Amino acid sequence: MTSLSHQITSDLYTVWWETSTPISSSNVTASMSHLHSRHTHSSPIVQQSIAEVWNARKAGNTKLFNGTKFRLGDLTATTTTDLHLRMSVTDYASYLGTNWNKSLQPSILQRKHMADTLGVGAVVVTSDQYIIFIKRSEHVGEFPNCLDVPGGHPEPSRVTGCHGTAWEYTEEKDVALNDALISSNDLVSEFFNSIVDEVYEEINIPKNKLNENQLLMIMRQTEPNGKPSAVFQLACELTKEEVEACYAKGPEEAFESTALVFMSTTDVQNIPVNDMRKDMTPACIGSLLKWREVNE
């Protein structure tokens, strides 16, 4: 049953999968298939609209760049703690041109036409019990100037067999044979490692100071037409002051944020949802609400 907290935020996100017991990478498997690739729309007008959205976004923000991302086509939960992800390869331009395309109605761009890039985010708790937020910069493609948990995307380029350009939907048998050769272990490793990489790249916390990497939930964000986002929790061995010192040295992806914000775990447990709505991204709100449930 979906919790009351999730029900009152259904305009921001919906729960695709969740667990009451946080799970580790040993509980997750994954597969790649062209069957789960984005379907190219048959209309040239629709295709033009998709390209125009990307071109307009890029023209207005020179820091945006295209790159391949994983598309989460489907998932199955074999038990309450075991999860299987079914993925393909898409790209960021297709994501902005489909999931963020306000000119095309859902009846035109159906789920199969969406890029549905798989995002990751983490509730990171310091050793002195503070949760770390980033203030998103005006240069990011989504929710500029909002508070968010650190996150990003797993990268297909890091997984053998997933390199190259975005995949096109196909049912060809010879392609399916190649899909089957892609390692589930490699996919799951990138899925879990990517959030540690993102925290390092966005905040400059050393990777060896981040542990207890656990998956809590996968949500679909409402505004970007159901973009899937995975919610993790991470324990940080550093104090709030030590994290601030790391960030002050300059993270790799400094352009993505303008400041760090900290909130005690006690305050996060008690902050009203309406207060969260004032300046937090939907994914941030969903992450905090799920974290509160499993850490009550």
Residues of the chain predicted below pLDDT 50:
1
* Closest CA relative to residue 264, chosen from 150, 123, 122, 128: 128
Nearest Cα neighbor of 146 from 154, 157, 155, 137 is 137
Residue 256 pLDDT: 75
Instruction: Give the model confidence (pLDDT) of 47-71 as tens digits.
Output: 999 999 999 998 988 878 899 999 9
Closest C-alpha to 162, from 191, 199, 121: 191
At 120-166, the pLDDT tens digits run 999 999 999 999 999 988 767 677 788 999 999 999 999 999 999 99
Tokens of residue 91, six digits: 């790209």
Q: Work out the number of other CB atoms within 10 angstroms of the CB of residue 91.
A: 21
Instruction: Provide the H-helix boundaries in the chain.
Output: 4-7, 44-60, 92-98, 173-180, 184-203, 240-248, 265-270, 273-276, 282-294
What pLDDT score does 4 carry? 55
